[in-house]
Structure 1
Amino acid sequence: MKPVTIDLVRHGQTYINRYDRMQGWSDTPLTEKGIADAKKTGHFLAKTHYDRAYSSDTMRAMNTAKLILEANDHPDVELRTTMYFREEFYGYFEGDNPARTWFVIGKPHGFDSYHQIAEEKGFDTTKDMMHAADPFHDAEDATMFWGRIMRGFRQLREENPDGGHILLVSHGTTIRSIIDKFGKDQGFNGLVGPRNGSVSTLRLDDEGVHVLAYNVLPDDPQ
């Protein structure tokens, strides 16, 4: 396949983001700030000619993508949705406060926070620990999560064999997990979560996934 450049965008702020709650496969609307986030990112990317546009199949991602495309100088791109790039599924912990959730999950193992687990043991361990702590075991473990994400990258390869530039709107933990897995050797640090409306850039080719930029906002110094 010819290389595909991916502008990977985190959706705008939602009410659950505003209330500092876990939001995986659950969904809430964009706040006024979230709408502004998406519009600002749209203007930032307005000159980019996208060959394809994708978002996860959640309302917050789809609405962010639509606002970005509305601001684009080439607005005739069809938006496609894919469940493969949803947020990580938090199972029983959906809607809970993240600090409390990760204290409950981590404390029996000697950890006080998500950041501490991720920094010392890695992002995959956070997923496995949450799955184990979920009384229903519905939360995705690392194998479930990466199986889904890699099916998503396979979809992008199959649907874009001639290469090109695509927009993909996804979610915070999904994006930082991708950055950590594929960008660590290039010095990118997923321990700092992507901001709402931020843009990360990937290159997808026959050799794999490569991180070119992470967590860039329209008002960041260039």
Structure 2
Amino acid sequence: MATEVYLVRHGETMFNQLDKVQGWCDSPLTVKGINDLKRTAQVLSQVYFDNMYSSDLKRAIDTVHLMRDANQVSEIGKIKKLPEFREVFFGSFEGDDIRDTWKQVAHAAGLSNEDDVTRIINQVGIYEFREATKQADPRHLAENKAELDERMIQAISVLGDLSRQEQRVLIVSHGDFIKTLGIKYWNKSDGLHDIIFPDNGSVSRGILHENGEFEIVDYNVDAKDI
């Protein structure tokens, strides 16, 4: 049985608002983030889900609780937290100023005087950007392409095992992780180049097939357009 997967990005956080690097480190949802999520939750309130899951980071947990509490047609009990769906890990850069971080990453990638992540990726490619981030990290802890690929595959496998008897599930994850899933699994992506970063509270819809294969069929859309 195939499982329909609604991937929701968490709401805006304080670190999003302050332009700080936010991967495995956490910060609370802002008032705007909560209000945006309430609109998403209201749109999804009449969609039946067999289950809901989330990353184990608090901003995702808070988001999935909003989704569950607003839903009027599902009976969701305790929500299982899946660390495999955490945000991309930025190592020593966690919590640092975004532009200062991207300057260091750009330098490691052979670029100078660049602090905009989109322009860096457009010049060197998403995979070289991952490698440059790990290289620029003083402790080399940031996830590179190979490490992130391995975690994505594990995430899909874990979700497949959990949802084997479920027709539709919702899982709250994170912007860069959902984007990386999109690069790999979205049927409109070539699997090589960067794609747009998903909005806070947006929905990407995937199909997890019985044989374990996964595909994203809708990416970064307003819940009302699903």
Q: Report how far residue 100 of structure 1 moved.
A: 2.4
Q: Is the 8 A contact 1:10 1:175 kept in 2?
A: yes
Distance 1:161 1:195 in 2: 29
In structure 1, the gaps of 5 or more residues are none
Moved more, 206-215 or 172-181: 206-215
Residues 1:203 and 2:212 are matched in the alignment: no
1:133 paired residue number: 136
Mapped partners of 1:200, 1:9: distance in 2 = 6
Residue in 2 aligned with 1:87?
Answer: 87
**Structure 2: gaps spanning 5 or more residues:** none
Q: What is the CA RMSD across the aligned residues, in angstroms?
A: 2.1
Matched to 1:56, the amino acid is S
Distance in 2 between residues matched to 1:72 and 1:65, nearest whole Å: 11
Q: CA deviation at 1:158?
A: 1.0
Q: Tell me which of 161, 164, 181 is aligned to 1:161.
A: 164
- Deviation of 1:116 after TM superposition, in Å, equals 2.9
Contact between 2:157 and 2:212, CA under 8 Å: does it hold in 1?
A: no
Q: TM-score, normalised by structure 1?
A: 0.91
C-alpha contact 2:186 2:219 (8 A) present in aligned 1: no
Give CA-to-partner distance per residue, 1:156-198, whole Å, 9 cap, x none: 1111223411101000100111111112645798532111101
Contact 2:89 2:143 in 1 (8 A): yes
What is the percentage of aligned positions where both structures have the same residue?
33
Aligned to 1:217: 222
TM superposition score normalised by structure 2:
0.89
1:178-220 per-residue CA deviation (whole Å, 9 max, x = no partner) reads 1111126457985321111011111111262212111112477
**Matching residue within 117, 134, 148 for 1:114:** 117
1:163/1:119 CA distance change after superposition, 3 Å: farther
Structure 1 outlier segments of 4+, above 6 Å: none
Bigger shift: residues 68-77 or 26-35: 68-77
Whether 1:35 and 2:34 are equivalent positions in the alignment is yes
